Structure 1
Amino acid sequence: MILGEYATAEAIESMRHRLGLDRSLWEQFIGFVHNFFTHGDTGVSIVFETSSRELIAERAPVTLLLIAMTCLFAIIVSLVLATLAATHKDGLLDHMIRILPAVTLGMPIFWVGLLLILVFSVRLRWFPVGGVGEGWLGILYSLALPAITVGLSQIPSLVRSLRAQMLEVLESDFVVTLKAAGIPGRVILVKHVLRNSALPALMLLGVNIAYLMGGTLVIEQVFGLKGIGSLLFSAISNRDFPVIQGIALYCAISVVIIGFVIEVASGYLDPRTKGEQ
């Protein structure tokens, strides 16, 4: 594939030696593992002829910032909506909050992105159609709409989980005691109810982080962002296997790291999850 349809046998044999395909499968695997653990690399890109680690590192900042903005947006909106729904239980606002965000669950994420581009970029011109701006403000501004797009897919499940937990805490005995002691409702809600209700939603976010990363990679292609997602699609179309392997491994490592962070945060929210010393 690299050399073309009319490559000579000598050229093919030389390329096989260059790629290490003339070695045994076991030797190739040992070399791959050794190269990854010593250099953080999965091989040289077949298309770009450079280290896959360098290609991924060049694109990673955009993807990581997009994931961070998506999580921040999803958490803030979920906290607000779940709080409003729990404090207006069985009211019109509660029903609207439970129904309307769930609409996005039945829509493909790339289709939601295209709709948002048509409305907020093409018609209203509030956001750029695609690409990454210059400077920190320009970058944040250009990533806002993609972050909202991915965040919309995470909000319904987070709101449902957080609302159910808040209703359970609001009906608990210690909340009734705090109200009887004359403590203001806002203090009870923020300091006690939210902290005791956030743990299940936080764990759910940790479970969904892999799906969030997958959605981010797809949205990068929709908005024309030069992140890991666009690199992955390019590598797949060109059968650039070292780059595909590198992206898969680094995404897996990121999921493990984020899961560890979630565990630490859950220990802070609920000391009982830390276990015995």
Structure 2
Amino acid sequence: MKYLVYILKRLLSLIPVLFGISLIVFFLIRLIPGDPATTLLGSHATPDTVKELRSQLGLNRPLWNQYLTFLGHLVQGNLGYSYVYTSSVTSLIGAGLPTTLWLLVSATVFTVLIAVPLAVLAAARRNGIVDNIIRAIPVVGLGLPSFWLGIMLILIFGLKLGWFPVAGFGNTFSGHLQGIVLPGITIALALSPILIRSLRASLIDVLSSDYIVTARAKGISGSRVVFGHALRNAAVSSITVLGVNIAYLTGTTLVVEQVFSLPGIGQQMINSILGRDFPTVQGITMVFAIMVVVVNLLTDVTHAALDPRVQLT
């Protein structure tokens, strides 16, 4: 019951956060150079046609009036109508959001598969050769941009070895799985170094605890001590690190989707910015904001479930 109350409180606190985000996004996007009407008309733009189109799009009204209209539609669940895609923003997001969610989930799975074994191995071989090599991974990994990692994976595993498609998301479930592997690994390679460093430090601290020493004195095998006792306690703080960085790397999907030509909302976001498509940019930004808040909420609830000392308020 306490978890439900906590979730409801966090959802209610989402309202002023989204209001502030909508205010900032609405006005900041209008600082981008260029006029949507002129961009849409292209070479056919004349002062009269631009003026007429601006009137049709409601861009000739005062900004405060435009914002109140946007806010009123937002409360009703209406994100507006795209200038570029000539479709409702809600339908556009509905078409692209599953791909972006696939990408985030796959990135999380690959991050855990990469980071946990390496962190456990480094902690178990503390100050050894293996530990020093693994400790060097964060230094290298954090300095590599996601778009470069994506291109290298495409060249090696897509073009040279031919194991995975180099672009697109496929049309079937198996096609989705194949198409999401390289993009997911690209994000995971950027996120894993942070988790490795955090989990290794936590494991070293836990492995020196009295109850671990007692467990070993009772003859419990080393693997059982690590995976059955130490890892759960060490993972508490690392889960928070993972959740915060997943929320932060949500914006990375824009670059990764562009590199791998994934039809997600990140690619829609870039195309909409270039086309001065204000409603689509506003709608996708709001969705990204909700995703970040949801990830943080799930992180807090998971942290509390693993650590009984944490009280949800």
TM value normalised by structure 1: 0.93
In structure 1, what is the Cα distance between the partners aligned to 2:186 and 2:311?
Answer: 35
- Aligned-pair CA distance for 1:6: 5.3
In structure 2, what is the Cα distance between the partners aligned to 1:231 and 1:26?
Answer: 26
In structure 1, the gaps of 5 or more residues are: none
In structure 2, what is the Cα distance between the partners aligned to 1:196 and 1:255?
Answer: 25
Matched with 2:4 is none
Percentage identity across paired residues of the two chains: 43
- Aligned-pair CA distance for 1:26: 2.6
Match of 2:149 among 92, 112, 120: 112
TM value normalised by structure 2: 0.83
CA contact (8 A) 1:179 1:185 kept: yes
What secondary structure sits across from 2:213 in the alignment? helix
In structure 1, what is the Cα distance between the partners aligned to 2:182 and 2:77?
Answer: 36
- Aligned-pair CA distance for 1:62: 0.7
- Is the alpha carbon distance of 1:223 and 1:9 closer, same or farther for their aligned partners in structure 2, counting shifts above 3 Å? closer
Aligned length: 275
CA contact (8 A) 1:69 1:147 kept: yes
Matched with 2:278 is 241
CA contact (8 A) 1:73 1:148 kept: yes
Query: Is residue 2:66 matched to residue 1:28?
Result: yes
Q: For structure 1, which segment, 69-78 or 209-218, has the greater mean C-alpha deviation from structure 2 after superposition?
A: 209-218
- Aligned-pair CA distance for 1:166: 0.2
Name the aligned partner's letter for residue 289 of structure 2. Answer: A
What secondary structure sits across from 1:89 in the alignment? coil
Q: How do residues 58-73 of structure 1 correspond to structure 2 at under 5 angstroms?
A: 58-73=95-110
Match of 2:120 among 77, 80, 83: 83
Deviating 4+ runs (over 6 angstroms): none
RMSD over aligned Cα atoms: 1.7
What are the superposed Cα offsets for residues 159-195 of structure 1, whole Å, 9 maximum, x if unpaired?
Answer: 0010000000000111111222333332221222111
Q: For structure 1, which segment, 257-266 or 181-190, has the greater mean C-alpha deviation from structure 2 after superposition?
A: 181-190
In structure 2, what is the Cα distance between the partners aligned to 1:231 and 1:144?
Answer: 21
In structure 1, what is the Cα distance between the partners aligned to 2:78 and 2:221?
Answer: 53
Q: How do residues 65-214 of structure 1 correspond to structure 2 at under 5 angstroms?
A: 65-214=102-251
CA contact (8 A) 2:83 2:279 kept: yes
What secondary structure sits across from 2:41 in the alignment? coil
In structure 2, what is the Cα distance between the partners aligned to 1:200 and 1:131?
Answer: 36
Q: How do residues 217-232 of structure 1 correspond to structure 2 at under 5 angstroms?
A: 217-232=254-269
What secondary structure sits across from 1:70 in the alignment? helix
CA contact (8 A) 1:101 1:152 kept: no
- Aligned-pair CA distance for 1:5: 5.5
In structure 1, what is the Cα distance between the partners aligned to 2:230 and 2:187?
Answer: 28
- Is the alpha carbon distance of 1:89 and 1:227 closer, same or farther for their aligned partners in structure 2, counting shifts above 3 Å? same
Matched with 2:302 is 265
In structure 2, what is the Cα distance between the partners aligned to 1:7 and 1:124?
Answer: 48
In structure 1, what is the Cα distance between the partners aligned to 2:128 and 2:241?
Answer: 26
In structure 1, what is the Cα distance between the partners aligned to 2:312 and 2:88?
Answer: 43
CA contact (8 A) 2:78 2:90 kept: yes
CA contact (8 A) 1:66 1:143 kept: yes
Name the aligned partner's letter for residue 259 of structure 2. Answer: V
In structure 2, the gaps of 5 or more residues are: 1-37
Name the aligned partner's letter for residue 74 of structure 2. Answer: F
Q: For structure 1, which segment, 163-172 or 217-226, has the greater mean C-alpha deviation from structure 2 after superposition?
A: 217-226
Name the aligned partner's letter for residue 79 of structure 1. Answer: V
In structure 1, what is the Cα distance between the partners aligned to 2:275 and 2:60?
Answer: 22
In structure 2, what is the Cα distance between the partners aligned to 1:261 and 1:222?
Answer: 29
Match of 1:51 among 88, 91, 112: 88
What secondary structure sits across from 2:169 in the alignment? coil
In structure 2, what is the Cα distance between the partners aligned to 1:76 and 1:136?
Answer: 22
In structure 1, what is the Cα distance between the partners aligned to 2:245 and 2:65?
Answer: 37
- Aligned-pair CA distance for 1:200: 1.6
CA contact (8 A) 1:44 1:51 kept: yes
In structure 2, what is the Cα distance between the partners aligned to 1:166 and 1:197?
Answer: 5
